[in-house]
Amino acid sequence: MSKRVVGIEDTRFVLFDQLDVEAFFGFERFSAHSRETFEMILDAAEKLATNEFAPTNKLGNKSGCVWEDGVVRVPGCFHKPFAKYIEGGWLALPESEEVGGQDAPYTLHFACCEFFYAANMALQIYLGNTHSAGRVIKAYGTPEQKEKYSVPLYACRYAGTMTLTEPQAGSDLGNIRTKATLREGNVYSISGQKIFITAGEHDLADNIVHILLGRVEGDPEGTKGLSCFIVPNVKVLEDGSLGERNDVVCTGIEHKMGLKASSTCSLTFGENGQCEGEMLGPRGMGISVMFHMLNEQRILVGLQGLAQASRAYLDALEYAKERRQGRKFGSRSFEQVPIIEHPDIKRHLLWMKSCTEGMRSLILYTMQCMDLEMVCEDAQEKQKWQDMVDILTPICKAYSTDRSYEICARAMQILGGYGYCEDNEVEQYARDTKITSIYEGTNGIQALDLFGRKLRMRGGEVYRTFLGQVKETVLKASKVEGLSWYAEEVYKAVSALEEVTEFLLGKNATEEAYLATSWATPYLEIFGDVVLGWQHLWRAMAAAGKMESAAPAEKVFYESKLMTARYYIGSVLPGIYGKIEAINMNDKALLEVQTDHLI
């Protein structure tokens, strides 16, 4: 199998050729960096991921986590790479120097995270949750809370979780029953049960800090009555040292299809009446506070899927180049050839490559928008970049993870029987990536978010901002030699998206709203297909701009980007028209189907 965990060459292409991240150096926040420092950081991340994280992936999957009497032990082989990660200060990379960071863009941070997720997703999940916990406390915490929790979280002395789900609530957060009763000052007694809490208990850090949703006793029912709390496993004293164990107990871990080395915990808070938590942010604004954490996590989940898909593609590519079986197409010779020469295998691989590279561009571009929103001073410009983050987040999360699982399945198909066996890691990639379409808001919820909320945000201005960005790329590409036809195809796809959007929004305002909403998931898929068409057109422009001055060896690389973009726009993107036709037929069978008809 491939020794590469991710295509770092494509990562560099996206960052430097497509997104031109060197323009970041003109902003004061990023002025200490240069292309040289970015390259050094990327190389160091790939080296750590390949040499330390990747060798523990299969071992961790085999041994899994062990729970006994409330204690969870992760695979022993995880501790060394975890320590190496801490030593390198990787978690705080995009944060300020005051918390041990390097003020790097989130775009670069996510590019590095892809390497770690690809090498060992289960291990990196402990770290990704920790960063998000530190970030939300930094955004909403008091100065004391920031010092008490954010600093040790960014240093990985503490680990963090996002603690929402309850047995009776699931995705319906308004039904959360965890109760908070004021003790004194900002300290509350917490009582309740949480389930499916990723990294809720483990032995990698000195303390675990739960960012928890609960309801202050007497506050309204529903989401408007929820508040956010910081609840550590071990109480933190005024001087920053650790005190006694808080009344937080892990009552078990889930035995899952994949991610066996990531502890998914059931937790009980305050069973003995001794669980303490501090309110984070304003009372009754828990959803807003939590979504600051959740939105980063949703893009990060898309990155998790991409990472597994990328590694699955590289493994399948390597296998297809080495596995000899069957004769050359159209030849009478009985000499066996590498299966990569067979038409169906090549089609699978090119589809996998086009989706993987398109998703990488999408996710890193979304993070670039997040960076620009943070550093731009012009209010209108800031709003534009926030609009792009808002509308692309459900695409990053849902579209990328659905595609990623399919890419992993196709990789297994290319390896044949070997892909189905545990000796190869491809089947593990498929099992591990499946959860990405389920947690942090199922993909169905993401589709409802896109269709039911994002399209209407700011009176439709967010959607129009997106269309404007895409059409700007189309206009530029139409003037590039050799790309005018592909620009026209993307323009047609965007126009078709506009038409079906108008159709569905119109139906949603009538008695057929139920039927219109039933198309939310196919609509998100159409939207995502168009987004990838846009990204590939942009990639093609970037590659074409480098061709003339490229050395002979580099030309092959840029040609591969052009070929992949041509394939996606010419062979994959047209698939949207069949999906759109099905929606436009407006067949009402779904409205007439009763529960008994589903038996």
CA 82 to chain centre: 21
Sequence-separated (6 or more) residues with CB below 8 Å from residue 404: 305, 306, 308, 309, 359, 433, 436
How far apart are the two ends of the chain, measured CA to CA in Å? 45
- Evaluated on CA atoms 392, 394, 397, 401, the torsion sign reads negative
Instruction: Tell me how far CA of residue 465 lies from CA of 358, 371, 395, 469, 598, in angstroms.
Output: 20, 17, 16, 6, 41
CB of 80 within 8 A of CB of 143? Answer: no
Helix pair angle (426-434, 121-140), 10° resolution: 30
Summarize the confidence of residues 587-595 as an average pLDDT. Answer: 92
CA 244 to chain centre: 36
Summarize the confidence of residues 452-461 as an average pLDDT. Answer: 96
CB of 53 within 8 A of CB of 124? Answer: yes
Helix (H) or strand (E) holding 131: helix 121-140
CB of 41 within 8 A of CB of 104? Answer: yes
The answer on pLDDT for 134 being more than 80 is yes
DSSP for 488-527 reads HHHHHHHHHHHHHHHHHHHHHTSTTHHHHHHTHHHHHHHH
Q: Give the model's pLDDT for residue 296.
A: 87
Summarize the confidence of residues 539-568 as an average pLDDT. Answer: 94
Phi, psi at 74, each rounded to 5°: -85, 165
- pLDDT category, 287, cuts 50, 70, 90? very high
pLDDT, tens only, 486-498: 999 999 999 999 9
- pLDDT category, 1, cuts 50, 70, 90? low
Summarize the confidence of residues 194-223 as an average pLDDT. Answer: 95
The domain limits of the chain are: 8-154, 160-285, 456-599
CB of 235 within 8 A of CB of 242? Answer: yes
Q: What is the mean pLDDT of the chain?
A: 95
Q: Give the model's pLDDT for residue 431.
A: 97
Taking the complete model, does pTM exceed 0.85, yes or no?
A: yes
440 is annotated as an active-site residue: yes
pLDDT, tens only, 8-52: 999 999 999 999 999 999 999 999 999 999 999 999 999 999 999
- pLDDT category, 171, cuts 50, 70, 90? confident
Q: Give the model's pLDDT for residue 544.
A: 95
Q: Give the model's pLDDT for residue 2.
A: 60
Which one is the CATH code of 160-285: 2.40.110.20, 3.40.109.10, 3.30.565.10, 3.40.50.720?
2.40.110.20
Phi, psi at 179, each rounded to 5°: -110, 140
Helix (H) or strand (E) holding 313: helix 286-322
pLDDT, tens only, 331-340: 777 888 999 9
User: Hey, what are 203's tokens?
Assistant: 């032995």
pLDDT, tens only, 375-395: 999 999 999 999 999 999 999
DSSP 588: -
pLDDT, tens only, 387-437: 999 999 999 999 999 999 999 999 999 999 999 999 899 999 999 999 999
The answer on pLDDT for 214 being more than 70 is yes
The answer on pLDDT for 101 being more than 60 is yes
3-state secondary structure of 236: strand
Instruction: Tell me how far CA of residue 480 lies from CA of 10, 472, 475, 534, 548, in angstroms.
Output: 22, 13, 9, 15, 13
The answer on pLDDT for 270 being more than 70 is yes
Q: Give the model's pLDDT for residue 517.
A: 96
Annotated active-site residue in 440, 502, 512, 554 = 440
Architecture field, domain 8-154:
Orthogonal Bundle (1.10)
User: Hey, what are 116's tokens?
Assistant: 């770690």
